Amino acid sequence: MFGRKIEKDPQKALDNANKMLNNPLMKGLNKVVMGQDFVDNVDNAMAQAQAGIDMQKQYQNPDGLDATAVVVAIQDTGKLINMNPVVMLTLTVTPAIGGAAFGTAGEAIVSKIAIPRVGDTIKIKYNPTNPMQFTVVS
């Protein structure tokens, strides 16, 4: 449509949309015509889309250190990625390669058919420099 090809890569599509919408002229016109609330909502939607893409990349290519974790608390965020829920997990983590157990909390994608419950032990990969970054692995 309008001579543009449809971008199939979500990151490239989002980058293109950000480039177009954050062009100073376009942003100014949107602010004047649509109002500041509209501009703020679009910026928020773009940030949420980027967060979803980043979380999806982490889910597809988990790296980090292996560990087991006991679920201390779980809360639904209302978000879905590929129809799987994103939840806020509070965990007690035991590294696989030794070391003391530690507590952490953060958002993670979980399988909609295997949502962990309080008390469950799950496998994760975590970032040793920032333990709030972890991925639930199946």
Domain-by-domain residue ranges, the chain?
10-59, 63-137
Alpha helices in the chain (DSSP H): 10-21, 24-34, 36-60
Mean pLDDT of 105-115: 91
Q: Name residue, tokens 């980043």.
A: 54
pLDDT at 94: 94
pLDDT at 97: 83
Task: Quote the distance between the C-alpha of residue 8 and its chain's center.
Answer: 20
Best-predicted range by mean pLDDT among 16-25, 82-91, 124-133?
82-91
Q: Quote the CA–CA distance of 40 and 126 in Å, as a whole number.
A: 33
The pLDDT tens digits for 44-78 are: 888 888 877 776 665 555 578 889 999 999 999 99
- Report field, pTM of the whole predicted structure over 0.85: no
Q: Over 70: is that where the pLDDT of 137 sits?
A: yes
Q: Over 50: is that where the pLDDT of 1 sits?
A: no
Pick from 97, 86, 99: nearest CA to 136: 86
Compute CA distances 52 → 12, 37, 59, 94, whole Å: 14, 22, 10, 27
Q: Which fold has domain 63-137?
A: OB fold (Dihydrolipoamide Acetyltransferase, E2P) (2.40.50)
81 pLDDT band, cuts 50/70/90, is: confident
4 pLDDT band, cuts 50/70/90, is: low
Q: Over 50: is that where the pLDDT of 109 sits?
A: yes
Which amino acid is present at 46? M
Token duo for residue 9: 């890569």
